[in-house]
Structure 1
Amino acid sequence: MSQELHRSVLLREAVDALVTDPGGFYIDGTFGRGGHSAAILERLNRDGRLLGIDKDPQAVAYAGERFGGDERFAIWHGSFADMDRAAAERAGKVTGILLDLGVSSPQLDQAERGFSFMQDGPLDMRMDTSRGMSAADWVNSESEAELSRVFKEYGEERFARRMAGAIVRRRVEKPFERTLDLAEVVKEANPAWEKGKHPATRVFQAIRIHINGELEDLQQTLDKSLQLLAPGGRLVVISFHSLEDRMVKRFIRDKERGPKLPRGLPVMDSQIAKTLKSVGKAIKADTGEVGENVRSRSAVMRVAEKLG
Structure 2
Amino acid sequence: MSHLDAVILGLVEGITEYLPISSTGHLILTNRLLGLDGDTPVYDASGTPIMVDDGASGELRPYTLGDAAYAYVIVIQAGAIAAVVILYWRTILNIALGCIGRSATGRRLAVNLITAFLPAAFIGLLLDDWIESYLGDNVYAVAGALFVGAFVMLGVERWRKHGRKAPVDPEDGPALHELSIKQSLMIGFIQCLAMWPGTSRSMATIVGGYLAGLSPKHAAEFSFLLGLITLTAASGYKFVSNGEQMLAALDIGPVLLGCIMAFVSAALAVKWLVGYLSKHGLALFAWYRIALAFAVFIFIGA
Structure 1 length-normalised TM: 0.27
Structure with greater helix share of residues? 2
Higher RCO (CA-CA < 8 Å; seq separation 6+):
2
Structure 2 length-normalised TM: 0.27
Structure with greater strand share of residues? 1
